[in-house]
Amino acid sequence: MNAMTQHNTPHNAGEKKILAVRIIAYTLFAISLYITVPAFFNIVASPHVLSQVACIACDVNNPSFTDVSIDAKSVYVYDIKNDRVLFSKNAESQLPLASVTKVMTALVAEEYLPPAFPVRILTEDLSTEGESGFFEGDVFSSSDLIDIVLTASSNDGAYALARVAGARIGEGNIPEKTFIHAMNEKAQTLGLSQTFFLNATGLDESSSVAGAYGSARDMAHLFGYIAVHKPVLLDATAHDELYIAGRIFRNTDLIVGNIPGLLGSKTGFTDLAGGNLVVVFEPEPMRPVVVVVLGSTREHRFSDVKNLVSAAIRTFLPPDIRSDATVSTVE
Protein backbone atom coordinates (compact mmCIF):
# COMPACT_ATOMS: atom_id res chain seq x y z
CA MET A 1 0.00 0.00 0.00
CA ASN A 2 2.86 2.35 0.93
CA ALA A 3 4.66 1.45 -2.29
CA MET A 4 1.58 2.30 -4.31
CA THR A 5 1.28 5.64 -2.51
CA GLN A 6 4.93 6.49 -3.10
CA HIS A 7 4.54 5.60 -6.82
CA ASN A 8 1.57 7.93 -7.34
CA THR A 9 2.89 10.90 -5.38
CA PRO A 10 5.06 12.40 -8.19
CA HIS A 11 2.15 11.95 -10.66
CA ASN A 12 -0.26 13.75 -8.32
CA ALA A 13 2.22 16.59 -7.86
CA GLY A 14 2.54 16.99 -11.63
CA GLU A 15 -1.23 17.15 -12.05
CA LYS A 16 -1.43 19.82 -9.38
CA LYS A 17 1.18 21.91 -11.18
CA ILE A 18 -0.72 21.59 -14.52
CA LEU A 19 -3.96 22.51 -12.79
CA ALA A 20 -2.33 25.57 -11.24
CA VAL A 21 -0.99 26.70 -14.62
CA ARG A 22 -4.43 26.28 -16.18
CA ILE A 23 -6.07 28.30 -13.42
CA ILE A 24 -3.56 31.11 -13.91
CA ALA A 25 -4.06 31.02 -17.70
CA TYR A 26 -7.87 31.12 -17.41
CA THR A 27 -7.62 33.96 -14.92
CA LEU A 28 -5.43 36.01 -17.25
CA PHE A 29 -7.77 35.27 -20.16
CA ALA A 30 -10.79 36.39 -18.15
CA ILE A 31 -9.00 39.63 -17.18
CA SER A 32 -8.14 40.30 -20.83
CA LEU A 33 -11.78 39.80 -21.83
CA TYR A 34 -12.93 42.14 -19.09
CA ILE A 35 -10.61 44.83 -20.43
CA THR A 36 -10.91 44.37 -24.20
CA VAL A 37 -14.52 43.31 -24.83
CA PRO A 38 -16.16 46.55 -23.61
CA ALA A 39 -13.67 48.54 -25.68
CA PHE A 40 -14.48 46.39 -28.71
CA PHE A 41 -18.21 46.95 -28.34
CA ASN A 42 -17.67 50.67 -27.84
CA ILE A 43 -15.89 50.76 -31.18
CA VAL A 44 -18.50 48.64 -32.94
CA ALA A 45 -21.31 50.72 -31.49
CA SER A 46 -19.95 53.94 -32.99
CA PRO A 47 -22.21 55.37 -35.72
CA HIS A 48 -19.49 55.14 -38.37
CA VAL A 49 -18.82 51.46 -37.77
CA LEU A 50 -22.52 50.64 -37.50
CA SER A 51 -23.11 52.20 -40.91
CA GLN A 52 -20.27 50.11 -42.32
CA VAL A 53 -21.72 46.96 -40.75
CA ALA A 54 -25.16 47.77 -42.16
CA CYS A 55 -23.66 47.91 -45.64
CA ILE A 56 -22.47 44.33 -45.31
CA ALA A 57 -26.03 43.45 -46.35
CA CYS A 58 -25.47 45.41 -49.55
CA ASP A 59 -23.92 43.85 -52.61
CA VAL A 60 -21.82 46.94 -53.39
CA ASN A 61 -20.16 49.10 -50.73
CA ASN A 62 -19.92 52.58 -52.25
CA PRO A 63 -18.81 55.24 -49.71
CA SER A 64 -21.26 57.76 -51.20
CA PHE A 65 -24.12 55.48 -50.14
CA THR A 66 -22.88 54.60 -46.63
CA ASP A 67 -25.35 56.75 -44.72
CA VAL A 68 -28.28 56.52 -47.13
CA SER A 69 -31.59 55.63 -45.47
CA ILE A 70 -33.57 53.04 -47.47
CA ASP A 71 -36.81 51.27 -46.64
CA ALA A 72 -36.99 49.26 -49.86
CA LYS A 73 -36.37 45.52 -49.89
CA SER A 74 -34.35 45.70 -53.08
CA VAL A 75 -32.28 48.48 -54.66
CA TYR A 76 -30.08 48.85 -57.73
CA VAL A 77 -28.24 51.98 -58.90
CA TYR A 78 -26.65 51.51 -62.30
CA ASP A 79 -24.36 53.72 -64.42
CA ILE A 80 -25.53 52.84 -67.93
CA LYS A 81 -22.70 54.43 -69.91
CA ASN A 82 -19.92 52.72 -67.96
CA ASP A 83 -21.88 49.53 -67.25
CA ARG A 84 -21.07 50.04 -63.57
CA VAL A 85 -23.06 49.22 -60.45
CA LEU A 86 -22.96 52.17 -58.06
CA PHE A 87 -24.99 50.55 -55.32
CA SER A 88 -26.90 47.32 -54.86
CA LYS A 89 -29.04 45.72 -52.17
CA ASN A 90 -30.73 42.34 -52.69
CA ALA A 91 -30.61 43.13 -56.40
CA GLU A 92 -31.40 39.58 -57.55
CA SER A 93 -34.45 39.11 -55.32
CA GLN A 94 -37.54 38.30 -57.37
CA LEU A 95 -40.28 40.68 -56.24
CA PRO A 96 -43.70 41.85 -57.48
CA LEU A 97 -43.34 44.64 -60.04
CA ALA A 98 -46.80 46.24 -59.84
CA SER A 99 -47.18 48.95 -62.50
CA VAL A 100 -43.48 49.00 -63.37
CA THR A 101 -44.76 46.14 -65.57
CA LYS A 102 -46.24 48.76 -67.90
CA VAL A 103 -42.79 49.71 -69.14
CA MET A 104 -42.53 46.31 -70.82
CA THR A 105 -46.15 46.65 -71.97
CA ALA A 106 -45.26 49.93 -73.65
CA LEU A 107 -42.03 48.57 -75.15
CA VAL A 108 -43.76 45.56 -76.76
CA ALA A 109 -46.78 47.59 -77.90
CA GLU A 110 -44.48 50.14 -79.53
CA GLU A 111 -42.80 47.38 -81.50
CA TYR A 112 -46.08 46.11 -82.98
CA LEU A 113 -48.17 49.28 -83.31
CA PRO A 114 -47.20 52.23 -85.55
CA PRO A 115 -47.23 55.56 -83.67
CA ALA A 116 -50.40 56.82 -85.35
CA PHE A 117 -52.26 53.51 -85.13
CA PRO A 118 -55.73 54.19 -83.68
CA VAL A 119 -56.67 52.33 -80.50
CA ARG A 120 -60.35 52.38 -79.58
CA ILE A 121 -61.31 51.94 -75.94
CA LEU A 122 -63.87 49.17 -75.46
CA THR A 123 -66.10 48.34 -72.51
CA GLU A 124 -63.91 45.37 -71.64
CA ASP A 125 -60.91 47.71 -71.30
CA LEU A 126 -62.75 49.72 -68.64
CA SER A 127 -63.40 46.74 -66.39
CA THR A 128 -59.90 46.73 -64.91
CA GLU A 129 -59.03 48.29 -61.55
CA GLY A 130 -58.36 52.03 -61.52
CA GLU A 131 -59.96 55.07 -63.12
CA SER A 132 -58.19 56.74 -66.05
CA GLY A 133 -60.96 59.05 -67.21
CA PHE A 134 -61.57 56.97 -70.32
CA PHE A 135 -64.95 56.35 -71.93
CA GLU A 136 -66.12 53.61 -74.22
CA GLY A 137 -65.46 54.68 -77.80
CA ASP A 138 -62.50 56.95 -77.00
CA VAL A 139 -59.83 56.71 -79.67
CA PHE A 140 -56.16 57.46 -79.06
CA SER A 141 -53.12 57.06 -81.24
CA SER A 142 -50.93 54.24 -79.95
CA SER A 143 -48.15 56.70 -79.11
CA ASP A 144 -50.50 58.90 -77.06
CA LEU A 145 -51.95 55.90 -75.29
CA ILE A 146 -48.48 54.61 -74.45
CA ASP A 147 -47.63 58.02 -72.96
CA ILE A 148 -50.80 57.92 -70.84
CA VAL A 149 -50.12 54.35 -69.67
CA LEU A 150 -46.57 55.20 -68.59
CA THR A 151 -47.27 58.60 -67.07
CA ALA A 152 -50.70 58.20 -65.46
CA SER A 153 -50.24 54.43 -65.02
CA SER A 154 -53.55 53.73 -66.76
CA ASN A 155 -54.66 50.13 -66.34
CA ASP A 156 -57.44 50.65 -68.90
CA GLY A 157 -54.90 51.89 -71.42
CA ALA A 158 -52.52 49.01 -70.76
CA TYR A 159 -55.30 46.50 -71.28
CA ALA A 160 -56.33 48.20 -74.56
CA LEU A 161 -52.74 48.17 -75.83
CA ALA A 162 -52.38 44.48 -74.99
CA ARG A 163 -55.64 43.63 -76.72
CA VAL A 164 -54.92 45.56 -79.93
CA ALA A 165 -51.21 44.71 -80.20
CA GLY A 166 -51.93 41.07 -79.36
CA ALA A 167 -54.41 40.90 -82.21
CA ARG A 168 -51.80 42.32 -84.62
CA ILE A 169 -49.22 39.77 -83.50
CA GLY A 170 -51.80 37.25 -84.70
CA GLU A 171 -50.77 34.13 -82.78
CA GLY A 172 -53.42 32.31 -80.76
CA ASN A 173 -57.10 33.01 -80.21
CA ILE A 174 -56.83 35.31 -77.20
CA PRO A 175 -54.99 38.56 -78.06
CA GLU A 176 -54.19 39.41 -74.45
CA LYS A 177 -52.49 36.07 -73.83
CA THR A 178 -50.60 36.42 -77.10
CA PHE A 179 -49.37 39.81 -75.95
CA ILE A 180 -48.28 38.51 -72.52
CA HIS A 181 -46.34 35.77 -74.29
CA ALA A 182 -44.59 38.45 -76.37
CA MET A 183 -43.73 40.36 -73.18
CA ASN A 184 -42.12 37.27 -71.67
CA GLU A 185 -40.23 36.56 -74.88
CA LYS A 186 -38.90 40.11 -74.86
CA ALA A 187 -37.76 39.68 -71.25
CA GLN A 188 -35.85 36.54 -72.24
CA THR A 189 -34.30 38.30 -75.25
CA LEU A 190 -33.05 41.10 -73.01
CA GLY A 191 -31.62 38.61 -70.51
CA LEU A 192 -34.01 39.53 -67.70
CA SER A 193 -33.65 36.17 -65.98
CA GLN A 194 -35.76 36.98 -62.89
CA THR A 195 -38.62 38.59 -64.80
CA PHE A 196 -41.93 37.16 -65.99
CA PHE A 197 -45.39 38.56 -66.60
CA LEU A 198 -48.88 37.23 -65.96
CA ASN A 199 -50.72 40.33 -67.16
CA ALA A 200 -50.04 43.65 -68.88
CA THR A 201 -50.85 45.92 -65.94
CA GLY A 202 -48.93 44.45 -63.01
CA LEU A 203 -52.10 44.32 -60.91
CA ASP A 204 -52.14 41.46 -58.42
CA GLU A 205 -53.79 38.34 -59.82
CA SER A 206 -54.93 37.32 -56.34
CA SER A 207 -54.12 37.92 -52.69
CA SER A 208 -51.05 35.71 -53.06
CA VAL A 209 -50.03 35.97 -56.74
CA ALA A 210 -48.72 39.17 -58.30
CA GLY A 211 -49.31 40.20 -61.90
CA ALA A 212 -45.59 40.27 -62.65
CA TYR A 213 -42.28 39.53 -60.97
CA GLY A 214 -38.74 40.73 -61.51
CA SER A 215 -35.57 41.86 -59.79
CA ALA A 216 -34.17 45.34 -59.27
CA ARG A 217 -31.23 44.39 -61.45
CA ASP A 218 -33.53 43.25 -64.27
CA MET A 219 -35.51 46.49 -64.11
CA ALA A 220 -32.32 48.55 -64.23
CA HIS A 221 -31.23 46.74 -67.37
CA LEU A 222 -34.71 47.06 -68.92
CA PHE A 223 -34.67 50.82 -68.35
CA GLY A 224 -31.07 50.96 -69.50
CA TYR A 225 -32.00 49.23 -72.75
CA ILE A 226 -34.82 51.71 -73.32
CA ALA A 227 -32.63 54.71 -72.46
CA VAL A 228 -30.09 53.64 -75.07
CA HIS A 229 -32.28 52.16 -77.83
CA LYS A 230 -35.77 53.69 -77.31
CA PRO A 231 -35.20 56.92 -75.34
CA VAL A 232 -38.33 58.66 -76.69
CA LEU A 233 -40.50 55.99 -75.05
CA LEU A 234 -39.94 57.50 -71.59
CA ASP A 235 -40.00 61.19 -72.54
CA ALA A 236 -43.55 61.86 -71.33
CA THR A 237 -42.82 60.42 -67.87
CA ALA A 238 -40.36 63.22 -67.10
CA HIS A 239 -43.23 65.74 -66.86
CA ASP A 240 -45.78 66.44 -64.14
CA GLU A 241 -48.76 66.00 -66.45
CA LEU A 242 -49.88 65.39 -70.03
CA TYR A 243 -52.46 67.23 -72.12
CA ILE A 244 -53.99 64.82 -74.63
CA ALA A 245 -57.34 65.05 -76.39
CA GLY A 246 -58.36 67.98 -74.20
CA ARG A 247 -57.72 66.05 -70.99
CA ILE A 248 -55.12 66.25 -68.26
CA PHE A 249 -53.30 63.09 -67.22
CA ARG A 250 -51.22 63.56 -64.08
CA ASN A 251 -47.97 61.77 -63.44
CA THR A 252 -48.09 59.20 -60.65
CA ASP A 253 -44.43 59.98 -59.90
CA LEU A 254 -44.75 62.80 -57.40
CA ILE A 255 -41.06 63.78 -57.46
CA VAL A 256 -40.43 64.35 -61.17
CA GLY A 257 -39.64 67.99 -60.40
CA ASN A 258 -37.08 67.04 -57.74
CA ILE A 259 -34.81 64.82 -59.84
CA PRO A 260 -32.17 66.81 -61.75
CA GLY A 261 -31.62 65.66 -65.32
CA LEU A 262 -34.63 63.33 -65.21
CA LEU A 263 -35.08 61.31 -68.41
CA GLY A 264 -37.97 59.08 -67.35
CA SER A 265 -39.65 57.25 -64.50
CA LYS A 266 -42.30 54.70 -63.60
CA THR A 267 -44.17 54.07 -60.37
CA GLY A 268 -45.82 50.91 -59.08
CA PHE A 269 -47.93 49.98 -56.09
CA THR A 270 -50.06 46.98 -55.13
CA ASP A 271 -50.78 45.18 -51.88
CA LEU A 272 -48.24 42.48 -52.71
CA ALA A 273 -45.57 44.71 -54.21
CA GLY A 274 -45.64 47.62 -51.82
CA GLY A 275 -44.15 50.77 -53.30
CA ASN A 276 -41.93 50.58 -56.39
CA LEU A 277 -40.24 53.37 -58.33
CA VAL A 278 -37.67 53.46 -61.13
CA VAL A 279 -36.05 56.62 -62.47
CA VAL A 280 -33.46 57.35 -65.15
CA PHE A 281 -31.57 60.61 -64.76
CA GLU A 282 -28.31 62.27 -65.76
CA PRO A 283 -26.07 63.42 -62.89
CA GLU A 284 -23.82 64.69 -65.68
CA PRO A 285 -24.70 65.40 -69.33
CA MET A 286 -24.80 62.19 -71.39
CA ARG A 287 -24.23 60.07 -68.27
CA PRO A 288 -27.56 58.28 -67.59
CA VAL A 289 -28.02 56.45 -64.30
CA VAL A 290 -30.90 54.15 -63.34
CA VAL A 291 -32.21 54.02 -59.78
CA VAL A 292 -34.52 51.11 -58.93
CA VAL A 293 -36.46 50.74 -55.69
CA LEU A 294 -38.66 47.66 -55.14
CA GLY A 295 -40.63 46.66 -52.06
CA SER A 296 -40.73 50.00 -50.28
CA THR A 297 -43.95 51.67 -49.09
CA ARG A 298 -46.36 53.92 -50.99
CA GLU A 299 -44.76 57.01 -49.43
CA HIS A 300 -41.18 55.93 -48.78
CA ARG A 301 -40.47 54.82 -52.36
CA PHE A 302 -40.16 58.53 -53.16
CA SER A 303 -37.81 59.35 -50.27
CA ASP A 304 -35.80 56.19 -51.04
CA VAL A 305 -35.26 57.30 -54.62
CA LYS A 306 -34.44 60.89 -53.66
CA ASN A 307 -31.84 59.68 -51.18
CA LEU A 308 -30.31 57.32 -53.73
CA VAL A 309 -30.26 60.01 -56.41
CA SER A 310 -28.41 62.36 -54.05
CA ALA A 311 -25.89 59.62 -53.26
CA ALA A 312 -25.43 58.81 -56.94
CA ILE A 313 -24.73 62.47 -57.68
CA ARG A 314 -22.09 62.52 -54.92
CA THR A 315 -20.38 59.61 -56.64
CA PHE A 316 -19.63 61.84 -59.63
CA LEU A 317 -18.30 64.77 -57.56
CA PRO A 318 -14.57 65.33 -56.84
CA PRO A 319 -13.48 63.48 -53.66
CA ASP A 320 -12.55 66.67 -51.82
CA ILE A 321 -16.13 68.01 -51.88
CA ARG A 322 -18.05 64.76 -52.07
CA SER A 323 -18.65 64.27 -48.35
CA ASP A 324 -19.96 67.80 -47.76
CA ALA A 325 -22.00 68.19 -50.92
CA THR A 326 -25.78 68.32 -50.87
CA VAL A 327 -28.15 68.49 -53.80
CA SER A 328 -30.49 71.40 -53.28
CA THR A 329 -32.82 70.29 -56.02
CA VAL A 330 -33.47 66.96 -54.33
CA GLU A 331 -35.55 67.95 -51.32
Helix (H, G, I), strand (E, B) or coil at 296: strand
Same domain, 12 and 151: no
Q: How far apart (Å, rounded) are the C-alpha atoms in residues 151 and 276? A: 14
Same domain, 63 and 184: yes
Q: Per this entry, what is the length of the chain?
A: 331
Please tell me the predicted confidence (pLDDT) of residue 231.
95
Same domain, 61 and 32: no
Please tell me the predicted confidence (pLDDT) of residue 86.
96
Choose among 222, 270, 243, 202: nearest CA to 78.
222
Please tell me the predicted confidence (pLDDT) of residue 127.
77
Same domain, 181 and 223: yes
Q: How many CB atoms lie within 10 A of CB 184?
A: 18
Same domain, 17 and 77: no
Q: What's the CA angle centered on 179, arms 197 and 143, to 5 degrees?
A: 105
Please tell me the predicted confidence (pLDDT) of residue 58.
57
Write the Ramachandran bin of 116: left for phi over 0, alpha for psi from -120 to 50, otherwise beta.
alpha
CATH of the domain at 314: 3.40.710.10
Please tell me the predicted confidence (pLDDT) of residue 60.
60
Same domain, 156 and 289: yes
Cα R_g (the chain), whole angstroms: 29
Q: How far apart (Å, rounded) are the C-alpha atoms in residues 111 and 319? A: 44
Please tell me the predicted confidence (pLDDT) of residue 321.
60
Q: Please state the separation of Cα 199 from the chain's center in Å.
A: 20
Q: How far apart (Å, rounded) are the C-alpha atoms in residues 154 and 147? A: 10
Beta strands per DSSP E along 70-150? 74-79, 84-89, 95-96, 118-120, 139-141
Domain-embedded: residue 331: no
Domain span at 34: 2-45
Same domain, 21 and 166: no
Which residues are paired to 75 by β-bridges? Answer: 89, 293
Each residue of 101-117: b (16+ CB within 10 Å) or e?
bbbbbbbbbbebbeeeb
Domain-embedded: residue 298: yes
Please tell me the predicted confidence (pLDDT) of residue 23.
54
Same domain, 162 and 129: yes
Same domain, 158 and 63: yes
Identity of the residue numbered 218: D
Q: Please state the separation of Cα 177 from the chain's center in Å.
A: 27
Same domain, 132 and 230: yes
Same domain, 150 and 197: yes
Across the chain, which has 331 residues, the per-10-residue mean pLDDT values are: 42 50 50 41 34 45 86 98 95 98 98 98 88 93 98 97 95 89 98 98 97 98 98 97 96 97 98 98 95 98 97 84 50 44
Please tell me the predicted confidence (pLDDT) of residue 132.
87
Q: How many domains does the chain have?
A: 2
Please tell me the predicted confidence (pLDDT) of residue 62.
81
Choose among 309, 318, 99, 92: nearest CA to 197.
99
Q: How far apart (Å, rounded) are the C-alpha atoms in residues 144 and 121? A: 13
Distance, first Cα to last Cα, the chain: 92
